[in-house]
Structures are given as structure tokens and as C-alpha cells.
């Protein structure tokens, strides 16, 4: 976990999320320009893993800002969030998509047969391209400034059943690495 709070991690997740667009995250020999994120506001947000309080799974969200909160979903995918401050207030920003700008061969090896603009298109694909898994939960994150993003779009978060209408998803307008919006599938009810 980080010993000092990086500048990018200071603030509410809704403030941090759009500032992350264009930043470059390097991990596992791959550099990725962040093109899409979603903000999650802890106990005030029914879409957040921290909505119902602290658990062993979401414990990292309550820790110091500037680290990765990694979780496993659907028994097969990893997703990564960047924890934002202050400590004890579990805010996080989900990394939804990015453009591989370095280490393209390594990303291709992790995602064979995938077109380059789709290597990190979606949160699970992004983790796979970067080689992020549960062993990285709580790890510090070093982001580098990238090109300044001129146009940012915002809209509803993807795949949520609760608080889905909140426009807390941010992306680089027109970037082809951004994932396709899909609302949550309705829950099946018994007869």
C-alpha cells in the first residue's frame, strides 16, 4: 500500500474519475492510456461494493487512497478500481477501458486473437491485458500524466441494477477503445 497519497488519488471519486482520463498506467510490462472509468461513492452509493459497510472483500476500499482494489467477478474475471481519498471513506474509480500505448506484444500474448483497439476494452479485458489479478489487491499505483483529454462524455454506469441512472461513467469522447454501454439485464423472477 502507498505510504504517501499521490495527487491523482486526492478527492471525491466523482472529481477524480474524469481527471484519470488520459493518464497512463503501467503494469506487467504494458502501458495503458485510460479512456473510460466509473466512479463509486462508498456508503452513499448503492452501486458500490462498500454500500453495506466494510467486508473482507472490500477492505482495501477503506484504506489509503492511491492503491488498487481488485475483485473477482462471475467466477472468471478480475476488475480493478483505483481507491480515492480520504482514508476510511471508501471511494473508488473502476478502470473500464484503455488504449495500450506500450508493451503491445505482451498485451497481445495475454489476449491472443484480439484486435489492438479491443485489448483493454472493458474492465476484465483491461485487467487481463495488464496482468492484474487478486494478488495485486492493495498494491500501490503509479500513474503518469498523459495527453490532456479535450472532450469527455458522461453517462450511466454499465451493468448496475441499483443507482444505474447516475451519470458517473466518464469516457474520452469518440475513442474506439471505450466499451459498449450495456444496461443491467433484468432479474429473473420465479413464477
CA dihedral sign, ordered 90, 95, 101, 107: positive
Q: What does the buried/exposed string (b/e) look like for 61-100 if buried means 16 or more CB atoms within 10 Å of the residue's CB?
A: bbbbbbbbbbbeeeeeebbbbbbbbeeebbbbbbbbbbbb
Q: What does the buried/exposed string (b/e) look like for 115-130 if buried means 16 or more CB atoms within 10 Å of the residue's CB?
A: eeeebbbbbbbbbbbb
Report the pLDDT value the prediction gives residue 160, as an integer from 0 to 100: 87
Report the pLDDT value the prediction gives residue 189, as an integer from 0 to 100: 67
pLDDT, tens digit only, all 191 positions of the chain: 556 778 899 999 999 999 999 999 999 999 999 999 999 999 999 999 999 999 999 999 999 999 999 999 877 899 999 999 899 999 999 999 999 999 999 999 999 999 999 999 999 999 999 999 999 999 999 899 888 898 999 999 998 888 888 999 999 999 999 998 887 777 666 65
Residue recorded with cell 484519470: 20
pTM as predicted: 0.93
Report the pLDDT value the prediction gives residue 102, as an integer from 0 to 100: 97
| Cβ-based neighbours of 109, under 8 Å, separated by 6 or more | none
| Of 86, 63, 61, 62, the residue nearest 71 (C-alpha) | 61
Domains by residue range for the chain, with CATH: 7-172 (3.10.300.10)
Amino acid at each position: 500500500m502507498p505510504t504517501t497519497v499521490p495527487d491523482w488519488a486526492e478527492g471525491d471519486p466523482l472529481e477524480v474519475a474524469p481527471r484519470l482520463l488520459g493518464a497512463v498506467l503501467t503494469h506487467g510490462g504494458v502501458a495503458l492510456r485510460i479512456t473510460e472509468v466509473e466512479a463509486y461513492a462508498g456508503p452513499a452509493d448503492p452501486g458500490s461494493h462498500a454500500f453495506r459497510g466494510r467486508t473482507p472483500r472490500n477492505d482495501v476500499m477503506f484504506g489509503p487512497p492511491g492503491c488498487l482494489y481488485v475483485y473477482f467477478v462471475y467466477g472468471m474475471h478480475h476488475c480493478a478500481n483505483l481507491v480515492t481519498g480520504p482514508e476510511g471513506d471508501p471511494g473508488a474509480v473502476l478502470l473500464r477501458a484503455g488504449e495500450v500505448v506500450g508493451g503491445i506484444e505482451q498485451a497481445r500474448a495475454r489476449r491472443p486473437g484480439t484486435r489492438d483497439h479491443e485489448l483493454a476494452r472493458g474492465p476484465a479485458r483491461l485487467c487481463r491485458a495488464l496482468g492484474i489479478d487478486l494478488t495485486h489487491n492493495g498494491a500501490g499505483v503509479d500513474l503518469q500524466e498523459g495527453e490532456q483529454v479535450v472532450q469527455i462524455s458522461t453517462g450511466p454506469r454499465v451493468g448496475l441494477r441499483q443507482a444505474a441512472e447516475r451519470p458517473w461513467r466518464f469516457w474520452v469522447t469518440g475513442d474506439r477503445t471505450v466499451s459498449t454501454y450495456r444496461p443491467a439485464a433484468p432479474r429473473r423472477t420465479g413464477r
